[in-house]
A and B are shown apart, each in its own frame.
Chain A
Amino acid sequence: MLELTSVRKQFGGLRAVDDVSFSVQEGVIKAVIGPNGAGKTTLFNLIAGNLDPTAGTISFLGREIQGKKPHQIAGYGMSRTFQNIKLFHGMTALESVMVGRHIQSRAGFLAGMFHPPSSRREEKAIRDKAYELLELLDIAEFADVEATSLAFGQQRAVEMARALATEPRLLLLDEPAAGLNIYETAEVARLITRIRAMGITVLLVEHDMSLVMDISDEIVVLSFGSKIAEGEPLAIQQNPEVIKIYLGEDEEIAA
């Protein structure tokens, strides 16, 4: 459903992403891994429309999306979370998820000002759906708490609920386990598998190897902007290239 062909992003003399090609099949959990500075987040920003690629094409559900605005891409059915959580200041957890229903609802300025019965019904549907998602992520008890004042793991969950509220076909998760302890990480792993079970394809960038190896169907490895390997977790673990970039080339360690 997502297809990257020779995607390149150049920042001055630096090729942050260098002719990367891969595809994501519907219904899988795919992970992008690599050492710091490998270009993972840049790649995510290219896919989600926050950056425009210097060259190459990105197609999503049969439609070329490079150069499109993030809100358009979100409209096509792709949603994302951020590595450094971006919640809306001054909104409760419930409201934060309700905003996520934006593209699944209609009421405009006039309906907002006059609150006709149709928009009242819609408002109730938005609220119910948002609450349902908070329940799914086990944070319903914090519905009326200001989202930015929640614990880190809960903020992550709110962000994920907000992304799910758009009813995406493809969900991009930017380091969903960053800053979480091992119990919380295991929780996130269960959650991601549940999201896939809902029929949502997942593409994630992650540092935490245990999470990636446990849940991914396929892995893409980036190093210095280039793709150096792609395959199933087991194959990736045994790939000498990958071992080299993660552990170094020291003979003693290799031996």
Chain B
Amino acid sequence: MKSSKVFPLCILIGLVIGVQVVTQLTDKTFYLTQLTMAAYYTLVVIGLSVLMGYAGQISIGHAGFFAIGGYLSAALTTHNLVSLQTHPFIQALGSMGMLIPGQDLYGEQLLTVAPWPACLFALAVAAVVALVLGVPVLKLKGHYLAMATLGFGIIIFRIGLATEFFGEADGISEVPAFVLLPSLAGLPALSVSGDFGHRIENYYIAWGLLVLGMVLLLNLIDSRTGRALRSIHGSEEAAEAIGINTARLKLAVFVLSAVFAAIAGVFLTHYNGGIGPSEASVMKSVRYVALVAVGGMANLWGVLIMGVTLTFLSLRGVFGSYDDAVFGTILILVMLFAPDGILSIRGKALLARFKKENA
């Protein structure tokens, strides 16, 4: 990696550690909860930034992919399979170690899918759905693509709301912890869960994942594939003329961004211990789009900063009951006054002043 990429990453990692240490010293570790959640939401947003900002394809349905990840891992890890125990498929899964037996509060026998296979299954489904949806939908452009992805988001929202398996309006609760690594060689286990005892550990898991996602996407942008993506945004016709299969590339980046959203969905659901239909709502998708726009579209660092900041403020309840309205307003204002993102404004204003003084 180039130093121009490593330096900001080092600052980010330093900040992540610094914030944790400061909150611990000042006994304000409760902030870490919202910071953890903000990191997961921002993972969705940086993935969407590559799709929207770099490849130039809009999606107002990414809450749907987040929900596919969250709902599937929640349903699989909570749904009791005891009554199906004798089914050959369930037995096969059991013999492969993919099921976990347990007991509920009343001593009832439980048999659920283990979090790791549930997670991988959820991600695979999100990828396949993105692939199947993407083939026809990515032939559309502009508003048409926006409408089609919006429709997809609404479908996922209604499925969650109408299906008993996904808990209907209540969503799914009591999702167990996701043990990422069992305790090894005296080290404690690493697990995604909302327990107070795991707060710091989870803060680092979430931010570790976000930093990893950021490194991978920064690398991608600065590669052969990244250049090809940016060329599609520049001129699809010229990209084709030098041999770039634009349809396939658009599809691949759509799937990639969907998987990022689904990973965030899986982790945040285990962290929160549940998921409800609001996670799949259109307003969530609009919020992700607003965060990409406010961060500057094709600016991963801007998107990361604005994503974390605004999501954190929102989760702290700063916007009160106007929460969704705030994000809608942000989207309108950014489109009108700062199409290159909030962080671009000061630079432009300074440049204008500089020009005036020298005139």
| B235 at interface by CB-CB < 8 Å | yes
Could you tell me the distance between the alpha carbons of A126 and B256 in the complex, rounded to whole angstroms?
25
Could you tell me the distance between the alpha carbons of A219 and B256 in the complex, rounded to whole angstroms?
49
Most buried by A among B224, B227, B233, B246: B224
Could you tell me the distance between the alpha carbons of A126 and B228 in the complex, rounded to whole angstroms?
13
Could you tell me the distance between the alpha carbons of A88 and B219 in the complex, rounded to whole angstroms?
20
A91 partner residues in chain B, CB cutoff 8 A: 227, 230-231, 234
Q: In the complex, are the beta carbons of B241 and A48 less than 8 A apart? A: yes
A75 partner residues in chain B, CB cutoff 8 A: 243
Q: In the complex, are the beta carbons of A71 and B225 less than 8 A apart? A: no
Could you tell me the distance between the alpha carbons of A90 and B235 in the complex, rounded to whole angstroms?
11
- Give the residue of B217, B223, B235, B242 whose beta carbon is less than 8 angstroms from that of A111: B223
Q: In the complex, are the beta carbons of B234 and A90 less than 8 A apart? A: yes
Q: How far is the CB of B263 from chain A (nearest CB, A)?
A: 14
Q: In the complex, are the beta carbons of B219 and A115 less than 8 A apart? A: yes
Q: In the complex, are the beta carbons of B243 and A74 less than 8 A apart? A: yes
CB proximity to A under 8 Å, residues B242-290: 242-246, 252, 256
Q: In the complex, are the beta carbons of B235 and A98 less than 8 A apart? A: no
Q: In the complex, are the beta carbons of B238 and A112 less than 8 A apart? A: no
Q: In the complex, are the beta carbons of B242 and A126 less than 8 A apart? A: no
A95 partner residues in chain B, CB cutoff 8 A: 227
| B240 at interface by CB-CB < 8 Å | yes
Could you tell me the distance between the alpha carbons of A227 and B107 in the complex, rounded to whole angstroms?
88
Q: How far is the CB of A96 from chain B (nearest CB, A)?
A: 8
| A211 at interface by CB-CB < 8 Å | no
Could you tell me the distance between the alpha carbons of A18 and B192 in the complex, rounded to whole angstroms?
68
| B6 at interface by CB-CB < 8 Å | no
Number of A-B pairs, beta carbon distance below 8 Å: 116
B238 partner residues in chain A, CB cutoff 8 A: 82, 86-88, 162
Q: In the complex, are the beta carbons of B227 and A50 less than 8 A apart? A: no
Q: How far is the CB of A168 from chain B (nearest CB, A)?
A: 9
Could you tell me the distance between the alpha carbons of A112 and B220 in the complex, rounded to whole angstroms?
4
Most buried by B among A74, A101, A105, A166: A74
| A244 at interface by CB-CB < 8 Å | no
Could you tell me the distance between the alpha carbons of A75 and B245 in the complex, rounded to whole angstroms?
10
> Would A105 and B241 be within 8 Å (CB), given that A87-B234, A91-B234, A115-B1 are in contact?
no
Could you tell me the distance between the alpha carbons of A111 and B230 in the complex, rounded to whole angstroms?
17
B170 partner residues in chain A, CB cutoff 8 A: none
B223 partner residues in chain A, CB cutoff 8 A: 107, 111-113, 115, 119, 123
> Would A88 and B235 be within 8 Å (CB), given that A108-B225, A109-B225 are in contact?
yes
B1 partner residues in chain A, CB cutoff 8 A: 115
Q: How far is the CB of A245 from chain B (nearest CB, A)?
A: 30
Q: How far is the CB of A115 from chain B (nearest CB, A)?
A: 5
Q: List 9 A-B contacts (CB under 8 A).
A: A79-B243, A82-B237, A82-B241, A87-B235, A98-B227, A99-B228, A102-B243, A107-B224, A113-B223
Binding site for A on B (CB under 8 A): 1, 216-217, 219-220, 223-228, 230-231, 233-235, 237-246, 252, 256, 298
Binding site for B on A (CB under 8 A): 48-50, 69-71, 74-75, 79-80, 82, 86-91, 95, 98-103, 105-109, 111-115, 119, 122-123, 126, 162-163, 165-166
List the 7 closest A-B pairs by CB distance, nearest first: A88-B234, A112-B223, A74-B243, A103-B243, A86-B238, A70-B240, A112-B225
